[in-house]
Amino acid sequence: MPKILVTGAFGQIGSELVNSLQNKFGTDSVIATDIHLPKNFVGNAEILDVCDAEKYRQFVVDNKIDTIYHLASLLSVGGEANPDLAWTLNLGSLKTMLDIARDHKIKCFWPSSIAAFGKTSLYDPTPQHNILEPTTIYGVTKVAGELLCQYYFLKYGVDVRSVRYPGIIQYKGDVGNGTTEYAIAIFYDALKTGKFECFLKPDAKLPMMFIDDAIAATIGIMEASADAIEIRTSYNLSAISFSPEKLVQEIRKNIALKVKYKPDHHQTIADTWPKTIDDSEARKDWGWKNTVDLPKLVNIMLKEVSEKIGVNDGKK
């Protein structure tokens, strides 16, 4: 039975990942850590600040951890508000994790992002090997992090694996302030008020993925044999690319929705990100495939968000 540590475990991705890991390996195999803990969590949960390198190392040793999913991070919008913290948290704690992994032979996962790309990248489709010149601090930490992972693999043989997540669409967690999260907020506003104000332009097409596919990819790459993992920076990963306009059209097939577009600083970030992703390497090397397309995503989100907030999804 593996002994798995998840950091940043109570964020949007971690909450779902922990649940899937518990179901797969048993509740006792997983320790969920973060700088805050939720009230009604079932399983092992502890406070762990990953910026405290000594505590991080001691925690891994004390709990005989053999696998780490390192999700603690500051994302795109938070990073622009606090670039120093983005650097310390996103890169400093990754280096700590890689040092621990090297010293204690731990298999590890760290996510990169489509934010690793920039305006000079080829972007439609975005190839695996591309120009990486992001202009956000978040993107800078992702590019540096990818290279650091590859360096630890080549120099020390650390078995670190990574994917570049697109925008993740989920309904269980809170709606964050990320650039792609308009595509979550829209369901809450559509169901509550029938109106939505979008901070991106109507044609701002971005790569997205439903959370279940993101979790399947995360566990999938970690389950693959080490020999199959040819790319030790980070794999491109793709599911569905859509613009606000396209999403609105799909939602309107189900419920009435009025939309106003007021592009702001989120659009400035979106302008530097890819439109579609070529993920053929992930499909070839470790069998990645997505299962949720746009109509399915809209159906799931309308059903789940309406149940969560207690309003009719227009189908009853």
CB of 258 to ligand NAD, least distance (A): 26
Taking the least distance from each CB to ligand NAD, the nearer of 73 and 306 is 73
44 phi/psi in degrees, rounded to 5: -90, 120
Q: Which is nearer to ligand NAD, 12 or 22 (CB)?
A: 12
List the catalytic residues. 138
User: What secondary structure does DSSP assign to 55-112, as a single string?
Assistant: HHHHHHHHTT--EEEE-----HHHHHH-HHHHIIIIIIHHHHHHHHHHHHT-EEE--E
Residues that bind ligand NAD in the complex, under the rule CB under 6 A: 7-8, 10-14, 34-36, 49-51, 71-73, 75, 89, 111, 113, 165, 167-168, 176, 178, 180
Q: Map tokens 């043989």 to a residue.
A: 157
Strands (E), 81-226: 107-109, 112-113, 160-161, 163-165, 167-169, 195-198, 206-210
Residue 214 vs 229, nearer CB to ligand NAD: 214
Closest CB 74 distance from ligand NAD, rounded Å: 7
CB neighbour class for 101 (10 Å; exposed up to 12, middle 13-18, buried from 19): buried
Element holding 223 (H helix, E strand): helix 211-223
To ligand NAD, the closest distance from the beta carbon of 8 in angstroms equals: 3
Residues 6+ apart with CB under 8 A from 151: none
With CB atoms as reference, the residue minimizing the distance to ligand NAD is 11
Complex with ligand NAD: residue 9 or 313, whichever CB lies closer:
9
- Minimum distance from CB of 53 to ligand NAD (Å)? 11
